[in-house]
Structure 1
Amino acid sequence: MLRLPMDLHRKVKDSPFYDLDETPSSSFHWQVILTAGLGFFTDAYDLFVIGIVTTWLTRFWHLHAWQTALLNSTSLLSAAIGAVLFGFLMDRLGRKTMYGVESILLILGALFSSLAPNFTLLIVMRFILGLGIGGDYPGSAILITEFANRSNRGKFVTYVFMMQGLGLIAGPLLSILIIQSGIPTWLLWRIILGIGAIPALFVVRLRRKMLESPRFLLHVKGDAKQTASILSKLTTKAPDLISEESTFAGLKKKGITFLHAPFGRRLLATSLSWFLIDVAFYGNGISSHEILMHFFYHVTMVQSLFLSLLLFIVFALPGYFLAAYKMDSLGRRFIQWLGFLVMAMGYAIIAIFPGIVHDTYLFLLLYGITYFFIEFGPNTTTFIFPSELFPTKLRGVGHGIAAAIGKVGAFLAAFLFPILIVQNGMHFFFGLLATVSCLGVLITIFLLPESKKRSLEELNGMLASENVHHTYSRIMKSIHEEQIDVVMVEEMMAISSSDLVIMHRFDPLTGLLIPTASKGEDVDQFVLSLRFAKNEETSRSLATLKEDYFFVIDRKEWIVHNRMPRDTYAFATRVGLGSFVAFPLIDNQESVGILSFFYRDENQLIPEVVEKLSGFIQVVTLALIRTRSYIDVRQLAYTDALTQLPNRMGFETKLEERMIRYQEDHQCCFAFVILDLDHFKYVNDTYGHQHGDYALQALAAHLVNVLEPRDLAARLGGDEFILLLDEVEDEQATRVRLEGIIRQLPLSDFELGVSAGACLFPLEGRTYQELYRMADLRLYKAKNAGRGQIIVTDHEMANQLV
């Protein structure tokens, strides 16, 4: 299993979604909450009213017990199918697209259920409605989760889920009003079922204004351009993303599945938790009016509905609000196991002490407390966890599977609990609920991680692979500073979580693979101990490690070595490195170097780790290709084609670097010199342009050889050259250095001479324009003084060169 990045703060901040995670709450968030939450209103409303409708239809259509149970549970069974189906499809076709489809199913299912002429067609319509309800679970949860900011994500998802509470209020309230209206009973149930289509109609309308999830666009589709466009609308800041989809191709091919740790364990934990709470909640909810009728047998249906409504408003509704308020402070994990625990205690008391059922107020108190901790507990958190604990490309199907398993629990409860109550009594029923709740406590504590205020990418170990955009950008920016190897190593060190990274490149002159950059502890001595050599026979495909150890590296293979032998890698094992992997760096179809990752863990390099590292190498390879292209273009733009010296543009770039260094340490000083070849026009006209070009090339080559390492020579054009003589502090030092350089030039071989004008930085100029103006003015004076002169001050007489 991949370890989380060592520098986690930097990774979170470098995530493309950092600004989205940190953006304040806005009207857009509330729009998403409303759009996503209306589906849950339909779900909860239907959950409540189907029990009432079934009671009426049992009389009208003379339904058998199995038909009543099937009618109560059909939509729950189809919801399980819909959750998995829509979860799978939204991971491939998009969140926005599938959310619209399931909303249409909610509308059709509710409307045609209200128009069903017989039991069979009603079951069919209930099945269609259930598909939409099931799809709404992953759709709504993921929609708000992927748009929410990190600090309020739990609260926002809870607000969506709170729409279920409004549905549970609307169910009994509307039922009471419609029953009291005097509408014929045969029409009542149709109106009650048809009302469920109204919220879904609003969802379809609101969906038209929704944006596609930027996480889906980037992580699944690899559409960085569209992702940046959406994020710029939401955060007013477009992230620095790579527009080329090829950057993501390698990562997309190496897909993560539920077989990769820890996602299989998380799927099991979220599914079991949801199964257990739905057994308790749906079994309790669907049978609520039967439970009340059992203990308060003298009440009418309207009175039973009113008691259910009152019970929910007093106990359950505050649980929703407290859950939303505390979800991002107490955390999902704590709230879930606490809720399961209190539920278990409440149900156990009712089951163990039968006399409580005869004490109306005490029974209602215990029953209400369990309702409160269902909502301020697992009924809310089981909805949140699956939307956070899976990577983007698995989030839909992961949430769908968990919801489906929960619906299976609800189906079993709806189908079996009425039978169990009749056969075994209410005490057995509450004892079963207590046992179920205890299992929920154990699963939550031992299998689920805490996810509060953590980014989705951090939670799922995606920060490394999803930061490739920023890695690429930083590598490309480093080209200007000529530190690309150093930056590459630093970036690979950060996103790979390895203990040591080394870059080797082939020296084109010697053919040796030499270390050019490294990052890690005790790195200097270890880098020196790793010396590779190129084998000419295999055209750089064979890299030979000294001391008779060698590896073959080509465009198709890489080295993986766990448990490095002590005799082979004595120094590596001595400093605690136990495994390594080395990848070839390919540019223009040939190996140009090796990038190696070292780990202290002897068994670190499992296939998943190696595959992920190979994905990172693709980013480096892309950067290498772009680097070569950039260098080729820069070479043309900054280099004089004839002499291969920097041209004026190249010189100005180097000069700017020197000036920046002066601003940093205020100790940088240098002489700015313009050289002009005397009599060059005569030589060029007399001996021809080819001879003149040869003279320029020869003098340029000599200039490079006689200058100090930190000096700089450039050709401005024609017969003018420009020099920077580093660490020259006064006019006398400038003259001494310049005279020594000119004496070493083969001027007499080409019948040429030299005139020069010089000035000092920063004493006589702080910009290129100021320095050039001063040096050019002194060159002009040197020319007018008879040529062959050097002038470095305004006050001195022109001195003849000896």
Structure 2
Amino acid sequence: MFNILAAWRFFVGIGIGGEYPAGSVSCAESTGELKGGSRNRWFILFTNCMIDWGFVIGAFVPYVVAAAAQNQYYSTIWRTSLGIGAVFPLVLFLLRLKLKEPEEFSRNSMKNVRTPYGLVLKFYGFRLLIVSLIWFIYDFSAYAFGIYSSKIVSNIYGDEAPLTTVFGWNTLLNLFYIPGTMLGAPLSDRLGPRYTLILGFVAQSIVGFIMAGTYAKLSQPSVVGAFVVVYGIFLALGELGPGNNIGLLAAKTCATGVRGQYYGIAAAIGKIGAFVGVYVFPYIQAAGGTKEDLAYYQYPFYVSSSLCIFAAALAFLCLPQIGQDTITLEDEKFREYLTANGWDVRQLGLKAGESTDSVSRESGEPPK
């Protein structure tokens, strides 16, 4: 079973994993056609907010299936849950067939020309490194805590709890993502993605340190509700800040011609962070001793909170401020940079079969 799940996960990575960066980039470019002052929130509502609702549905569907199966027939429960999960991508596939490329992409695309990677790395290399590192740190924490959330809560309600209890608490925890992402969406328009990301990181680190320091009291079975609320706030702040805005920063800190590859690289490094976080999470716990030791449960929160402070410092010191018209301004800067370095910017936006000479004849300009 685990072998086939790993194989399916690989294909999901090719499909949804390959489509999501492209869809996010297209979404970012489409927001340029919306009214100023609301562009960031619409990007967030159509990207990270959808992920968070997916987390909720992904926990709630198995809860309903397990309840219907009366916490028995495990084979039926996991097969049915995965089967339901296949319906949503099929709907998305049909919608995707009718989607047209945004106007910004049509004007500045490098789809049909050879990308000058040397110039691109010289102009965007450092910025890409910072965005990727921040994404790595966020996914390192978010996915590790997401996967181990049921295990963390099970330390309170016990290992013998039925599946409905496990999925029920997971659904409740995942619901805390929703206010984080929904409240954070308009905040990104007011403060800007960079400062909202920093605010979320710092606030999450404070709550994480509080949880670590008071874990002995919060972990008592009699206050499981309080533990879930505080832990949920910890997760919600992560969505309000980096969850909402790291993709937005990746999509809007580069020019349209290289946005897809830039975003894809940053997202891939983020998923490497998720893998590393899930892999080392048990080792972080083990560094605190055994399950009978308090530090065993505190260390993950100490590590995550410390990384939040580090990522906030990186964003503050190394990333530019993102405004409502950043995409247009970034394209202009990139065009000027390419022109100054001898690259023919008439190649931007060329369609399949077109050449710079044909474009010059249509515009009345002499060929270069």
Q: TM-score range by the shorter chain?
A: 0.7 to 0.9
- Counterpart of 1:172 in structure 2 is 59
The whole-number CA distance in structure 2 between the counterparts of 1:439 and 1:190 is: 41
- Secondary structure of the residue aligned to 1:164 is helix
User: Is 2:335 aligned against 1:452?
Assistant: no
Contact kept in structure 1, 2:62 and 2:78, CA below 8 Å: no
- Counterpart of 2:39 in structure 1 is 153
* Structure 1: segments with no counterpart, 5+ residues: 1-117, 224-248, 466-495, 497-605, 629-802
Which of the two has greater strand per residue?
1
CA RMSD of aligned residues (A): 2.9
The whole-number CA distance in structure 2 between the counterparts of 1:607 and 1:124 is: 43
User: Is 2:63 aligned against 1:192?
Assistant: no
- Counterpart of 1:309 in structure 2 is 171
Correspondence list, 1:187-586, <5 A:
187-220=76-109, 257-261=119-123, 263-297=124-158, 299-313=161-175, 315-358=176-219, 360=223, 361-422=225-286, 424=288, 425-462=296-333, 465=335
The whole-number CA distance in structure 2 between the counterparts of 1:441 and 1:221 is: 33
Change (3 A) 1:300 1:456: same
> 1:545-602: CA deviations, max 9, x gaps?
xxxxxxxxxxxxxxxxxxxxxxxxxxxxxxxxxxxxxxxxxxxxxxxxxxxxxxxxxx
- Counterpart of 1:632 in structure 2 is none
Change (3 A) 1:356 1:609: farther
Give the letter aligned to residue 611 of structure 1. G
The whole-number CA distance in structure 2 between the counterparts of 1:431 and 1:207 is: 42
The whole-number CA distance in structure 2 between the counterparts of 1:348 and 1:291 is: 16
> 1:318-337: CA deviations, max 9, x gaps?
11111222221221011100
1:415 Cα deviation from its structure 2 partner: 2.0
Change (3 A) 1:254 1:269: closer
Which of the two has greater helix per residue?
2
Give the letter aligned to residue 313 of structure 2. L
The whole-number CA distance in structure 2 between the counterparts of 1:455 and 1:358 is: 46
The whole-number CA distance in structure 1 between the counterparts of 2:130 and 2:42 is: 23
The whole-number CA distance in structure 1 between the counterparts of 2:109 and 2:61 is: 43
Change (3 A) 1:255 1:128: closer
The whole-number CA distance in structure 1 between the counterparts of 2:242 and 2:161 is: 32
Contact kept in structure 1, 2:104 and 2:256, CA below 8 Å: yes
The whole-number CA distance in structure 1 between the counterparts of 2:88 and 2:63 is: 20
The whole-number CA distance in structure 2 between the counterparts of 1:391 and 1:608 is: 14
The whole-number CA distance in structure 1 between the counterparts of 2:156 and 2:135 is: 29
1:608 Cα deviation from its structure 2 partner: 6.8
The whole-number CA distance in structure 2 between the counterparts of 1:627 and 1:198 is: 52
Comparing 191-200 and 293-302, the one that deviates more: 293-302
Comparing 419-428 and 252-261, the one that deviates more: 252-261
- Counterpart of 2:353 in structure 1 is none
Give the letter aligned to residue 43 of structure 2. V
The whole-number CA distance in structure 2 between the counterparts of 1:213 and 1:316 is: 30
- Secondary structure of the residue aligned to 1:611 is coil
The whole-number CA distance in structure 1 between the counterparts of 2:111 and 2:233 is: 48
> 1:691-726: CA deviations, max 9, x gaps?
xxxxxxxxxxxxxxxxxxxxxxxxxxxxxxxxxxxx
Comparing 206-215 and 351-360, the one that deviates more: 351-360
Change (3 A) 1:286 1:457: same
- Bigger Cα Rg: 1
> 1:397-416: CA deviations, max 9, x gaps?
11111111110111112222
Contact kept in structure 2, 1:144 and 1:157, CA below 8 Å: yes
1:255 Cα deviation from its structure 2 partner: 6.4
Give the letter aligned to residue 344 of structure 1. S
Higher relative contact order (CA 8 A, sep 6+): 2
> 1:11-57: CA deviations, max 9, x gaps?
xxxxxxxxxxxxxxxxxxxxxxxxxxxxxxxxxxxxxxxxxxxxxxx
- Counterpart of 2:351 in structure 1 is none
> 1:160-191: CA deviations, max 9, x gaps?
22111211111221111100112621121111
- Counterpart of 1:134 in structure 2 is 17
Give the letter aligned to residue 155 of structure 1. R
- Secondary structure of the residue aligned to 1:195 is helix
1:343 Cα deviation from its structure 2 partner: 1.2
Give the letter aligned to residue 396 of structure 1. G
Contact kept in structure 1, 2:108 and 2:331, CA below 8 Å: no
1:610 Cα deviation from its structure 2 partner: 4.5
The whole-number CA distance in structure 2 between the counterparts of 1:396 and 1:610 is: 22
Give the letter aligned to residue 171 of structure 2. L
1:430 Cα deviation from its structure 2 partner: 1.1
The whole-number CA distance in structure 1 between the counterparts of 2:302 and 2:129 is: 25
Give the letter aligned to residue 172 of structure 2. L
Give the letter aligned to residue 146 of structure 1. E
Change (3 A) 1:626 1:437: closer
1:296 Cα deviation from its structure 2 partner: 2.7
1:316 Cα deviation from its structure 2 partner: 2.2
Contact kept in structure 2, 1:451 and 1:459, CA below 8 Å: no
Contact kept in structure 2, 1:343 and 1:434, CA below 8 Å: yes
Q: Percent identity among equivalent residues?
A: 26
Correspondence list, 1:45-194, <5 A:
118-148=1-31, 149=33, 151=36, 152-160=38-46, 161-182=48-69, 184-194=73-83
Normalization by structure 1: what TM-score? Answer: 0.39
